[in-house]
Amino acid sequence: MAGDGVPPVMSDSPYGLAAVEKEIARACKDAGRERSSVTLVAVSKTFDAADIVPVIAAGQRVFGENRVQEAKAKWPALMQQHPGLSLHLIGPLQSNKAKEAVALFDAIHSVDRASLCEALAKEIDRQGRSPQLFVQLNTGEEPQKAGIAPGDADAFIKSCRDVYGLTISGLMCIPPVDEPPAPHFALTAKIAARNGLKLLSMGMSADFEAAIQLGATHVRVGSAIFGKR
Ligand SMILES: *Cc1c(COP(=O)(O)O)cnc(C)c1O
């Protein structure tokens, strides 16, 4: 329909999305999984509406942001113009932003300490809104990285449930950049399984196929869709 008054595409992001979709479909097929078992979270951090709108127009509905303030500035208008979007927080959350996060996001992938659990429980109760929650693991036990150490995971998940009354749906991990990711994905899957958690947020632009092979239900893909940040 080119030439029928359709505005020119000003962004490469729809092509990135199509390429990523194709790779996800292939990875699902290779792993013997249904395409519908993997949610693509398109990570739009640092990109503005001009880059995001074409991706929505191409059919993408689930987006990820790593900062509450940035998401608050960009997404309420987009969500009003495009009903049916789902927004995920994939970056660290300060307890004093729990109120805004519970109001804005449909999922939070970065639950990683007791004080945050307490703040989230309070806001979920107060707002009557329950974003899906993932506990973030620090599988590489990297000092600069957020997340629960694998050895503390079972106890932390139990306290989320028993002490704070939170429903935890899954686990999230970010493997160390300088290591093969597969062992980290496998460890995350194992800890999820023994805690009865069904969702696995793992895999980014460089490694989402390996993550799908190892059971990822949510892949968080930014640069492969939107380009370099
Ligand atoms: C930025 C980010 C991503 C996406 O990374 P890409 O390499 O651009 O795909 C995924 N997860 C988290 C937690 C991020 O901060």
Which residues, 6 or more positions from 156, have their beta carbon under 8 angstroms from its beta carbon?
135, 148
Q: Give the model confidence (pLDDT) of 213-225 as tens digits.
A: 999 999 999 999 9
More confident residue, 3 or 161: 161
| % of the chain beyond a pLDDT of 90 | 93
Average pLDDT value for residue range 41-50: 96
CB of 147 sitting under 6 A from ligand 1: no
Q: Map tokens 């900062």 to a residue.
A: 67
* Of the listed ranges 3-12, 50-59, 142-151, the one predicted with least confidence: 3-12
* Separation CA 67–CA 17 (nearest Å): 22
- Please give the full DSSP string across 81-122, using - where no structure is assigned: HSTT-EEEE-S---GGGHHHHHHH-SEEEEE-SHHHHHHHHH
Summarize the confidence of residues 127-138 as an average pLDDT: 98
pLDDT value of position 13: 86
Task: List 135's β-bridge partners, or say none.
Answer: 111, 171
CA–CA gap between residue 129 and residue 118 (Å, rounded): 15
- 172-213 pLDDT, tens digit per residue, is 999 999 999 999 999 999 999 999 999 999 999 999 999 999
- Alpha carbon of 205 to ligand 1 centroid (Å): 7
Instruction: Read off φ and ψ for residue 114, nearest 5 degrees.
Output: -60, -40
Position 100 pLDDT exceeds 60? yes
pTM of the model: 0.95
> Is residue 211 in contact with ligand 1, taking CB distance under 6 Å?
no
How far does residue 64's CA lie from ligand 1's centre (Å)? 9
What phi and psi, each to the nearest 5 degrees, are found at residue 59? 115, -5
- Amino acid 11: pLDDT: 75
Mean pLDDT, range 2-25, rounded to an integer: 77
> Do the Cβ atoms of 208 and 27 come closer than 8 Å?
yes
Q: For residue 223, which atom of ligand 1 is closest to its CA?
A: 8
Least confident of 4-18, 108-122, 133-147: 4-18
Calpha distance 123→120 (Å, rounded): 5
CB 188 within 8 A of CB 175: no
- pLDDT of 2: 43
Structure tokens at 82: 């495009």
Please tell me the distance between residue 44's alpha carbon and the centre of ligand 1 in angstroms: 9
End-to-end distance of the chain based on CA atoms, in angstroms? 32
- Dihedral sign of CA atoms 8, 10, 14, 20 in order: positive
Of 8-12, 147-151, 179-183, 220-224, minimum mean pLDDT range: 8-12
- In one letter, which amino acid is 106? D
User: Under a CB-based contact definition with an 8 Å cutoff, are residues 11 and 54 in contact?
Assistant: yes
Q: Rounded to the nearest 5°, which phi and psi values hold at 12?
A: -85, -5
At residue 1, the pLDDT reads 42
Separation of 113 CA from ligand 1 center, angstroms?
21
pLDDT of residue 3: 43
Determine the 3-state secondary structure of 175 from DSSP.
coil
Calpha distance 177→145 (Å, rounded): 11
Closest CA to 105 of 116, 117, 115, 93: 93
192: Cβ below 6 Å to ligand 1? no
Q: Indicate whether 116 pLDDT > 60.
A: yes
43 lines ligand 1 (CB under 6 A): yes
pLDDT in tens, 60-82: 999 999 999 999 999 999 999 99
For residue 6, what pLDDT is reported? 52
Give distance in angstroms: CA of 182 to centre of ligand 1: 17
